Chains A and B, each alone.
Chain A
Amino acid sequence: MIRSFLWDTLLRAQRIIMLLTICITTAAVFLEVIMRYFFKAPLVGIEELAAYVAFWLYFIGGSYGSYERSHISADLSQLIFKNEVNYAKAHFLSSLISALAILYILPWAYEYVKWGFEMNEQSRSTFLGDSFSVVYFQASILVGLLLMCFYFFVESCQWFKAAFIDREVPQHMLSPREEIDSWIG
């Protein structure tokens, strides 16, 4: 109960961020074009700001891809392992490797964000007359990696169960997760 509530809330939060970031970035660039042509008053720097906001789009979207199992891969295991259980073993291993690799660099990401806070790194561009701290955008890397690590770990547990305990693979795990029929779900 609680577990599924937390799980759903997490996914919903991600979906909201994904929708917000794509809307904000599109609107920002669209607005710049409108301001330049119709008001002759360009908002210099708004596109650069949008490129910073896009980091949340990239990393929350990327981690959602881990949840959906839709990461770009060159997986040949489906061709090699005709046997379901072997297939599950291979996937257990690959998701575990991904989880561990991310786990290994989590301290890097933590140090990076910490440095950003301490040094108060400023943006390369200005918006409305001022530069801004970029650590709020760098933080997306830490958050994204944390989420990815979590999803890969959950997935490796599922494959472990399929490969070594149940000895059969549930149909739904053979393809990427089905997209839900609503933007929020």
Chain B
Amino acid sequence: AAVNWKWVHYQPVDSMADNLSKSMIKEIEEKSDGQIKFSLFPAGQLGDWMEMSEQMMRGAIQIGILPVSPAYNKALQIRVLPYSVMNWNEAKKAFSGENPFLFEILAKEMDKIGLKALGVVAEGFGGAGFAKVPDFDVVDPDGDKRGLKIRVPSGNQAFESLAKELGFIPASVPWGEIYIALQTGLVDCQIGGQPYNTYSSFLDITKMWVQLNTHFQHSFVYMNKKAWESLSPELQQIVQETTRKYADTSYALAEAEDKKFMEEMEKAGIKIVAPTDEQLEKIASKIRKNTWPIMEEVIGKEIMDNVLTELSALK
């Protein structure tokens, strides 16, 4: 019998995730000969990404392109482990290709909470948007940041620690108030998203963008495990191959997007700062030394060691 599944994502209509969703949906519907049908709910219509991720566990939503919520398995915080992969080349190797170890580690942890990972959709590298151009070096992690306040995603350990290591004061501001907080000076900077985020949400309020490459921002294409198991092997193959095929195109798209939106920001008069590899390495080694032990407690030593071994093999 034909199933009608809810497919969700949290990006705006006509964004990369939206277009990928539409392509995947179209091809699966065609190839499955109408046995699988989807209703697409774009732009977080069924809740924010964390909520939709949890709804997928419960089976109220069957499939989507979303980050994975760590609420039921803390190990999934590897997702935001700062300075694990440093550039596009490393990201691509770690999440797709011949030895996609980060994909596999995360897929295994997702399986434990009833989620089937199908592929990784790249979104970009994280950086920081400033409401003013400071007259001092913000990239040097040991430099004095003169009490600049930085908005981090609320209560997120990795970012809170990251902000402190960079020398800023982390602050909690609800998502809806970030724009005004930047405008009024409640905070001086926001961190946690790729150039596209800042371009689409904070363009008018941003004076400087620093591409710190804090972490590799990505979503998974994933689905409810029970829904997955209800499919015949043939249908499973169609879903797996189609989603993987389109997901693998996302790296080039996302890299181009990062570049494009940085250029757009520059056109809009925003100062773009791209730290050199040495500068990034200096930040990364400080973060690895001080933030990773904290993250290890959250994620677990075994997985963390595994990640570290694979990462060093990657370099």
Any A–B CB pair closer than 8 Å: yes
Q: Which residues of A contact B (CB under 8 A)?
A: 32, 36, 40, 42, 44-45, 47-49, 119-127, 129-131, 134
Instruction: Name the contact of B70 in the complex, choosing from A36, A122, A130 (C-beta under 8 A).
Output: A122
Q: How far apart are B297's CB and chain A's nearest CB, in angstroms?
A: 8
A10 to B63, CA, bound (A): 45
B149-166 interface mask toward A, CB cutoff 8 Å, 1 = contact, 0 = none? Answer: 000101111001000000
Q: How far apart are A168's CB and chain B's nearest CB, in angstroms?
A: 49
Given A48-B155, A129-B157, A122 contacting B170 (CB threshold 8 A): no
A45 to B113, CA, bound (A): 26
Residue of A nearest to B51 (CB): A124
Whether B172 contacts A32 by the Cβ 8 Å rule is: yes
B187-221 interface mask toward A, CB cutoff 8 Å, 1 = contact, 0 = none? Answer: 00000000000000000000000000000000000
23 A-B pairs (CB sep. < 8 Å): A36-B171, A44-B171, A45-B154, A45-B155, A45-B160, A48-B155, A48-B172, A120-B72, A121-B71, A122-B71, A122-B74, A123-B71, A124-B155, A125-B154, A125-B155, A125-B156, A126-B156, A126-B160, A127-B155, A129-B157, A131-B74, A131-B157, A134-B71
Given A44-B155, A45-B154, A129-B294, A119 contacting B172 (CB threshold 8 A): no
Whether B72 contacts A119 by the Cβ 8 Å rule is: yes
Residue of A nearest to B58 (CB): A115
Residues on the B chain within 8 Å of A126, using CB: 155-157, 160
Residue of A nearest to B77 (CB): A131
Whether B155 contacts A119 by the Cβ 8 Å rule is: no
Whether B155 contacts A42 by the Cβ 8 Å rule is: no
Residues on the B chain within 8 Å of A121, using CB: 71-72
Q: How far apart are A52's CB and chain B's nearest CB, in angstroms?
A: 10
Q: Is the interface of A mostly helix, strand, loop or mixed?
A: loop
Whether A42 contacts B74 by the Cβ 8 Å rule is: no
Residues on the A chain within 8 Å of B298, using CB: 130-131
A164 to B291, CA, bound (A): 70
Range, interface on chain B: 10 to 19
The verdict on B147 contacting chain A, using a C-beta distance below 8 Å, is: yes
The verdict on B235 contacting chain A, using a C-beta distance below 8 Å, is: no
Whether B172 contacts A47 by the Cβ 8 Å rule is: yes
B58-90 interface mask toward A, CB cutoff 8 Å, 1 = contact, 0 = none? Answer: 000000000000111010000000000000000
Whether B172 contacts A122 by the Cβ 8 Å rule is: no
Residues on the A chain within 8 Å of B71, using CB: 121-124, 134
A47 to B154, CA, bound (A): 9
Residue of B nearest to A41 (CB): B169
Q: How far apart are A119's CB and chain B's nearest CB, in angstroms?
A: 5
Q: How many residue-residue contacts, CB under 8 A, span A and B?
A: 55
Most buried by B among A48, A121, A126: A126
Residue of B nearest to A125 (CB): B155
Given A119-B113, A122-B71, A42 contacting B172 (CB threshold 8 A): yes
Q: How far apart are A94's CB and chain B's nearest CB, in angstroms?
A: 31
Q: Which residues of B contact A (CB under 8 A)?
A: 50, 70-72, 74, 113, 147, 152, 154-157, 160, 169-172, 294, 298
A69 to B172, CA, bound (A): 38
Residue of A nearest to B69 (CB): A124
Residue of B nearest to A36 (CB): B171
A33 to B70, CA, bound (A): 28
Most buried by A among B152, B160, B169, B172: B172
Whether A124 contacts B170 by the Cβ 8 Å rule is: no
Whether B113 contacts A42 by the Cβ 8 Å rule is: no
Residue of A nearest to B163 (CB): A44
Nearest 4 CB-CB pairings of A with B: A125-B155, A45-B155, A48-B155, A126-B157
A111 to B117, CA, bound (A): 27
A32 to B218, CA, bound (A): 32
Residue of B nearest to A48 (CB): B155
Name 19 extra pairs, CB < 8 A, besides A47-B154, A122-B70, A131-B298: A36-B169, A40-B147, A42-B169, A42-B170, A42-B171, A44-B155, A45-B155, A45-B160, A45-B172, A48-B172, A122-B72, A123-B155, A124-B71, A124-B155, A125-B154, A127-B155, A129-B157, A131-B157, A134-B71
A115 to B57, CA, bound (A): 12
Whether A124 contacts B50 by the Cβ 8 Å rule is: yes
Q: How far apart are B149's CB and chain A's nearest CB, in angstroms?
A: 8
Residue of A nearest to B54 (CB): A121
Instruction: Name the contact of B169 in the complex, choosing from A40, A119, A120, A134 (C-beta under 8 A).
Output: A40
Residues on the B chain within 8 Å of A119, using CB: 72, 113
